[in-house]
């Protein structure tokens, strides 16, 4: 049962982590082009926008872990494996 819990939680975590990381990696192109062109103001603006983006997206990316925490009990999963998927 714990192996199944790890499998489920890893899948959920990886999807959310890759989505959030992909959003922030998208800023790399903007920063590199602005830095190469000597536009420091654009670099700063991209940094600030990246911080705002991560602050706005954090609740959406953390939310499924909090919402799905009671899911193992409602799915009648054995109590020995309930705590493993979402250790929050």
The whole model's pTM is what?
Answer: 0.59
pLDDT at position 29 is 87
pLDDT at position 25 is 87
**Average pLDDT per consecutive 10 residues, the chain (88 residues; last block may be shorter):** 70 82 85 90 89 86 74 66 54
User: How far apart, in Å, are the Cα atoms of 88 and each of 11, 75, 83?
Assistant: 16, 19, 9
Whole-number Å distance between alpha carbons of 17 and 11:
10
């Amino acid at each position: 049962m714990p192996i199944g819990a790890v499998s489920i939680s890893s899948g959920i975590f990886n999807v959310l982590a890759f989505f959030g990381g992909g959003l922030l990696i998208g800023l790399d192109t903007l920063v590199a082009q602005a830095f190469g062109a000597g536009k420091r103001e654009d670099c700063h603006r991209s940094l600030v926008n990246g911080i705002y983006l991560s602050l706005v997206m954090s609740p959406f990316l953390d939310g499924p872990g909090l919402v799905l925490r009671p899911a193992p009990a409602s799915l009648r999963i054995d109590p020995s494996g309930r705590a493993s998927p979402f250790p929050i």
